[in-house]
Amino acid sequence: MTELMKAKNAVQGSIDCLKDKIQRGIISGSEVVCCTCIGAGGPELKGFSFPLLVLDEGSQASEPEALVPIMKGTRQVIIVGDHKQLPPTVLSPKAAEQGLGVSLFERMMEAGDSGKSYTNEGQATLVARIVTSLVKDHDVQPSSIGCISFYAAQVSLIKSLLHQPNEGTMAVQVASVDGFQGQEKDVIVISTVRSNSGGNIGFLKDPRRLNVAITRAKRLLVVVIIIGDHKQLPPTIQSQKAAEQGLSVSLFERMMEAGVPSTLLGVQYRAHPLLFEFPSARFYSGAVQSGVSPEQRPQLTPPFPPGKGAAGHPPLVFFHDGGSKEEPGDSGKSYKNKSQATLVTHIVTSLVTNHGMQPSGIGCISFYAAQVSLIKSMLQQPSKGGCQQVIGTW
């Protein structure tokens, strides 16, 4: 009986070996191999590599699932899916809370509108200025400085500014958050990139990425620099519950409150010096000065009576609307004031038609969406001398 079992096992082994040989021969001779994500990591495909991967129904594959075939020597990946339909099936609530319910497809869509990336030239220029100063004025070795951004396009832009032959900053490492995983530098400069009226922050809302970015600096005396202004608008949070949990406080503001060393950029180059006097005193204790002179921001001759001042027309004017009353907007969740909207329209129209101002040089701001819509509807009238262009600046 024992001999019979040995013979059976030997035959079965030969069959399995022949089957495996035939199977691998078929796979080797095939131009296209189809399998599931997890199947790509099975013994049948062990040792095979696939330079081109087409991942179908990618929006239903979790990130760990998608990584299995990607790790098979892939050099190019095409993911086909619809992130507006069913997401990956994740049975564990804890796993879902950690982000495993988001597919690689959706993550890439969120990262940059159909695969696009983002740049912020102002931040990139400021990062280059900070790094250059550290190297030239403070004797910090370029190789001990790292620049991190959450977007590949910003990484490329910062590299183009820093990696100039005559700047002495060629050795500064510039990479994405993923590129700095597992690395550290004496000095880390972070460019957050995102800054928009819609409050869209993309990768920045992932606490794990933030954690990696802010823990790459290894020396105690090094300042981790995040470029921003905690005195201006906070993050836009739609959920009351999320706001109560503290998500309306930015990382920048939290670090400022915690006493993390920071550098105040003490010069502004936008507003007329007289216009900036109040915010400088009220929000920055007078520490921010104007880098432009009154001559560089010549005062306009406005369509209203002159006030006091050397030039006859101050750059800041208040109008009393005669005690008009607001009313609910069409949605019932906002407010509008027709009298104020009419007055705004009159001022803008006069500036354009009687005082030679370009509509693109005028901006109208309201705190309420219903008022914005009302002013837009008034300015879009053809009789307003091209003032409909003004709404493009909102």
3-class SS string, 74-136 = CCEEEECCCCCCCCCCCCCHHHHHHHHCCEHHHHHHHHHCCCCCCCCHHHHHHHHHHHHHHHH
β-strands 335-336, 187-191: how paired? unpaired
Structural domain for 23, as ranges:
1-28
Specify if 286 maps to a domain. Answer: yes
Q: Do 106 and 47 reside in the same domain of the chain?
A: yes
Is the pLDDT score of 38 beyond 60? Answer: yes
Specify if 218 maps to a domain. Answer: yes
Q: Do 149 and 204 reside in the same domain of the chain?
A: yes
Residues 299-314: tens digit of each pLDDT: 665 555 544 433 445 5
Is the pLDDT score of 13 beyond 60? Answer: yes
Between 116 and 233, residue with greater pLDDT: 116
pLDDT at position 304 is: 53
Last residue of one domain, picked from the residues 257, 279, 294: 257
With vertex at residue 67, the alpha carbon angle to CA 92 and CA 193, rounded to the nearest 5 degrees, is 90
Count of beta carbons in the 10 Å neighbourhood of residue 113:
11
pLDDT over 70, % of the chain = 77
Q: Do 223 and 333 reside in the same domain of the chain?
A: no
* pLDDT class of 352 with cuts at 50, 70, 90: confident
By mean pLDDT, which of 62-76, 93-107, 212-226, 238-252 is the weakest? 212-226
Specify if 321 maps to a domain. Answer: no
Q: Do 147 and 235 reside in the same domain of the chain?
A: yes
Specify if 239 maps to a domain. Answer: yes
CA dist., res. 207 & res. 300, Å (int)? 47
Q: Do 145 and 167 reside in the same domain of the chain?
A: yes
Q: What integer is the mean pLDDT of 103-108?
A: 80
Q: Do 342 and 243 reside in the same domain of the chain?
A: no
pLDDT at position 258 is: 73
Task: Tell me how many domains the chain contains.
Answer: 5
Q: How far is CA 342 from CA 111, 345, 362, 382, in A?
A: 42, 5, 16, 16
Q: Do 128 and 241 reside in the same domain of the chain?
A: yes
Q: Which residues of 119-142 are buried (b: 16+ CB within 10 A; e: fewer)?
A: bbeebbebbbebbbebbeeeebeb
Residues 205-260: tens digit of each pLDDT: 677 777 888 788 876 333 334 555 555 555 666 677 766 776 667 766 776 777 76
Q: Do 131 and 247 reside in the same domain of the chain?
A: yes
Between 228 and 52, residue with greater pLDDT: 52
Specify if 263 maps to a domain. Answer: no
Q: Do 335 and 250 reside in the same domain of the chain?
A: no
Q: Do 49 and 19 reside in the same domain of the chain?
A: no
Q: Do 250 and 134 reside in the same domain of the chain?
A: yes
Specify if 262 maps to a domain. Answer: no
Q: Do 42 and 14 reside in the same domain of the chain?
A: no
pTM, two decimals, is 0.39
Specify if 265 maps to a domain. Answer: no
Specify if 264 maps to a domain. Answer: no
